[in-house]
Amino acid sequence: MGVSDIVNTFESAMNKSKSFYSGSKVMNDPIHGHITLDDYTVEFIDTPQFQRLRDLKQLGALYFIFPGASHNRFEHSVGTYIHDEETLVFLKLTVTYLCRTGVSHLSGTLVERFAREQPELNITQDEIKCLKLAGLCHDLGHGPFSHVFDGSFMPHARPGLNWSHEQASEMMLEYLIDDNNIDMERTEINFIKDLIAGEARSQSKYEDRKFLFDIVANKKNSVDVDKFDYIERDTYNMGLRSSYDAKRLLVYSRVINNEICYHHKEVYNLYEMFHTRYNLFKQIYLHRVNESIEWMLVDAFLAADNKLKISSSIDQPEEYLYMTDDILRTIERSRDPELEESRRIIKLLRTRNLYKFVDEFLIPPELESKLTETTVTPQDIVNHQTDNAGLNERDVIVSFSKVNYSMKEKNPVDSIRFFSKFNDKESFNIPQDKVSYLIPTTFQDVNLRIYTRDPSKMLAIQKAFRRYLRQITKTETLGDPTVSVPAEYQDLVFSKRRRVSLLDDHH
């Protein structure tokens, strides 16, 4: 290589570098490495509506338990968007150079790969742009402490309301575009909203390309880029280990007959993905203490709702903009008498006087129709108290949780199509018994947990709960209790720090 060749190489590298950085930003993400953000993406990110996601913990109340659960919805949304790093060229002191190509990821990555390797799909640049923005904006609608808000608080604050954070994401997307004067066609906005919803509600022209609506939110088999990112991000931050590899799924995928399919050898990887998700729920998301804290947050929000209009904010994007995890500090700073009860609950949380876990029952499949959220109530437990224990409905919290492979009792892999290296034009299913006999035959656990707001009544509530179970299950022997009640609670002997009734005169 002569001097002129070296100069030409250097100039070429600099031109590539200038082109790479022109109109874009680069973000270094712990999961995906360097992420290149297009100029139109930055236009969305640099808005109050998107920056709000920095103040929403990805794992909600789990940060009160696990110090590693500090990541937020902002990181997850950017990660779900894309990293499709262009080739960067570095010159060494030896005047040789190295090219580093980042691994392309997630919504933009997947559709760009389809467009490049399957030109017959006729994917346009506008569609790629909308898919990137759908991945970016899919979580705009989360409320304080994420799923605590839409999964627990809202059903209690506004019973009967059919509302989800996905609906709020569409509302906040409209608000973001209008409030920041972003120039977009109405057809583009509707397309992005449909991509977030995972269905072509108003896009009849996409009848022959429905696979586009399976990239961000896949309702067919639950394999989508949202799941790719949060499983990797949550396991990383929580210190869990998994052999699941999202990058392989991105590489070994293609569209066949209007459906995203995977190379047949990725069937094990897909099972590992769903198993990792199961472990996250079993070990992390549904941690007993986390559920206890979540119920305290729900009670605190309900107590403050009349004053702060928390539940009605979902109807007003200008108000919802300020509904973040910071609402706890807002309540704590206030001296308003109407917020006294809410402040009291938050202080109990801050001083670690938490609602107490009482007992748990793993519901057998044959009893799942009998023991449901509508058929098991706190009053049912109270009605089975003994020895005039003095229990009332407010003492008892009934909590149901489901742990599955993303599709309730179904095996999601049964709904995934595969192709072989010998024929990538036709797809097929892979039966479970052709993969392994160690794969479960039941794909959902339903847990019934009981908590109490008053630790002095733990033993009485446990006895009442187990009497109730014996009546329902027609079984006299249910085995040992899931949790043994500490002696100090049985004898009502409390340390000074714990001598507190979580049900005081306020109730």
Q: Which residues are marked as active site? A: 165
Outline where DSSP puts E strands in 346-487. 356-363, 396-404, 418-420, 423-428, 444-452
Cα 124 to Cα 503: distance, rounded to the nearest angstrom: 60
CA distance 397 to 113: 49
Longest dimension (CA), the chain: 96
Q: How far is Cα 425 from Cα 261, in angstroms, rounded to an integer?
A: 10
For 47-116, the three-class secondary structure string (H helix, E strand, C coil) is CHHHHHHHHCECCHHHHHCCCCCCCEHHHHHHHHHCCCCCCEEEECCCCCEEEECCCCCHHHHHHHHHHH
Residues in the chain: 507
> How far, in Å, CA of 69 to CA of 284, rounded?
10
What are the residues whose beta carbons fall under 8 Å from the beta carbon of 145, sequence distance 6 or more? 56, 57, 60, 61, 294, 297, 325
Q: Torsions phi, psi of 398, nearest 5?
A: -105, 125
DSSP 419: E
